[in-house]
Amino acid sequence: MKASDLAELALRNLREAILRSSLTTLGVAVGVASLVAWLSLGIGLQSLATKRLSNSGLFDTVVVTQRRSLPSSRRQPAETSPAKDARPLDDDAKKDFEKLPNVVEVYSQIRFPTEVRFNGNPYSTIVAGIPASSQGNGSFDGMQGNFFSSPDADEAILQIEFARDLSSQPNSLIGKDVMLRYAERQALPPSTEGGAKGSDSTDDNAGGFSIVPREKTLHIVGIIETEPAAGFGGFGSGRLLIPQNVASTLRAAQVNDLRDAVRATSKKPVYASLTVRAKTPSMVEGIETAIKNMGFGTFSLLDATKNLRVFFTIFDMLLFIFGSLALAVATLGIINTLVMAILERRREIGILKALGAADRDVKQLFFVEAGVMGLLGGILGVGFGWLVGRAVTIGTNIYLKRQSLPSADVFSVPWWLVLSAIGIAVLVSLVAGLYPASRAARLNPVEALRYE
């Protein structure tokens, strides 16, 4: 029989037994919905965790330090010192890192204590430089106001707790100015014995530095609820955030400047550490290896991301098994429906065979009926699963809102899951139809015609 005739007859048969076909299809739909809902939850949670961790800057960054020699005995100080033949972590090295594939940005951590004056009152706080790449990593999602208008803008974003210190109505601070009072390093002429260095190399302090008080007016453009981060020791404790370039030009004295000043190994200025940000966490490994090969010490949370992936793979597998249980029950429903259809249509099968239907035709007819139920059930099931996901997300977000927590999308239904779920539904239905279809095909036409 031609495929079009087969499909036409199968659809007609399903229409004629509309109630039973619908209930069976609904059974498949419930099974697929269960599968989709569970897997969407797993994928959603994985995506949420990955996004949150990625936003933390812990998983897509490599911290680079000068290679250091380890202490050889207990009597030596616990802190390590740079290896004698180590390549200096200077601007040349920074440029080399920037040229590596999949590197988004390379920057040094700039964080310094300062005094902020607002409405004539002084407030002590920590200022942190924010690299431009932070805007796109989700750290600033949901902030009040805007991100910096440019990497060199004299603008500030306040952390909410600090903003509350300045005003009882934090949002009203947006658009106002604050005065920053800080300690600027000024380079001294190099001594004959060698140079000192600072943690930020934008100024030349190879010969040591002096401290000069400075002031800077900044325009408040935004307020952020959470603490954005950018790698280990990132901006976490920064309560007033300014563009990295601006922070760099301030040449503000930082907490570890004194320690670094006495550790001079090069006449050129060097960094205490540099943070290299990769496009995605999966690219960290390659970048880390390349930097190590250049002769630097590196640190990343690569193993932690691998463990996270293993955890979610197992988690998704368990959710798949839970979801599949309902689909297994639906499979029995299909078998039951088709076996009942054989009993009911025994005489019809006999007539078809008497009129020239081959065993293959009868088998295919039942197969197509099973496949159509699977296809419709799969499509419906994906829809139901999506609705369940939306309902759970809405419920979760209402709860999170009541707990004063930011909203989260705990469900994710990617296209591959939609297509796979429909494919699985059709496949399972066809497998379920195997036995009934074979049984129908094997019917003896003479016996089938006698059946009343």
Partner 1 sequence: MTTGNGFAVRADRVSRHYEMGTALIRAVDGVTLEIRAGEFVALLGSSGSGKSTLLNLMAGLDRPSGGAIFANGRNLSELSSLELARYRSRTVGMVFQSFNLLPRMTLEENVELPLRLAEVDRAERGARVQESLQRVRLEKRLGHRPSEMSGGEQQRAALARALVNRPTILFADEPTGNLDSATGETIMLLLKEIQQNLGMTIIMVTHERPLAERFADRIVALADGKLLSDGVKS
| Nearest-approach distance from CB 336 to partner 1, in angstroms | 22
Q: From the list 153, 188, 339, 351, which residue makes contact with partner 1 (rule: CB under 8 A)? A: 351
SS3 content of the chain, % helix, strand, coil (to 5): 50, 20, 30
Of 199, 318, 299, which is closest to residue 251 (Cα–Cα)?
199
Instruction: Give the whole-angstrom CA distance, residue 338 versus residue 336.
Output: 6
Q: With respect to partner 1, which residue has the nearer C-beta, 259 or 347?
A: 347
Quick one: which of 221, 224, 59 has its CA closest to 140?
Answer: 224
Strands (E), 24-89: 61-66, 68-69, 81-82
358 interacts with partner 1 by CB under 8 A: yes
CA gap 244, 242 in Å, rounded = 6
Cβ distance to partner 1 smaller for residue 16 or 215: 16
Q: Quote the least distance from Cβ 16 to partner 1, whole Å.
A: 5
Q: Which of 356, 402, 404, 416 binds partner 1 (CB under 8 A)?
A: 356
**Should residue 19 be labelled a site residue for partner 1 when binding is judged by CB under 8 A?**
no
According to CB under 8 A, which residues from 311 to 350 bind partner 1?
347-348, 350
Task: Give the neighbor-by-neighbor strand order of the sheet with 273-278.
Answer: 103-107, 273-278, 61-66, 296-299
* Residues 389-428 as x/- pattern, contact with partner 1 by CB under 8 A: ----------------------------------------
Q: Could you say whether residue 354 binds partner 1 (CB under 8 A)? A: yes
| DSSP code, position 228 | -
Considering the rule CB under 8 A, would residue 1 count as an interface residue with partner 1? yes
Residue 11 C-beta: closest distance to partner 1, Å = 12
For partner 1, the closer CB: 33 or 357: 357
C-alpha distances (whole Å) from 191 to each of 81, 121, 202, 259 are: 22, 41, 19, 18
Figure out which of the listed residues 72, 120, 355, 404 binds partner 1, where binding follows CB under 8 A.
Answer: 355
Q: Which residues bind partner 1 (CB under 8 A)?
A: 1-2, 4-5, 9, 12, 16, 347-348, 350-361, 444-446, 449
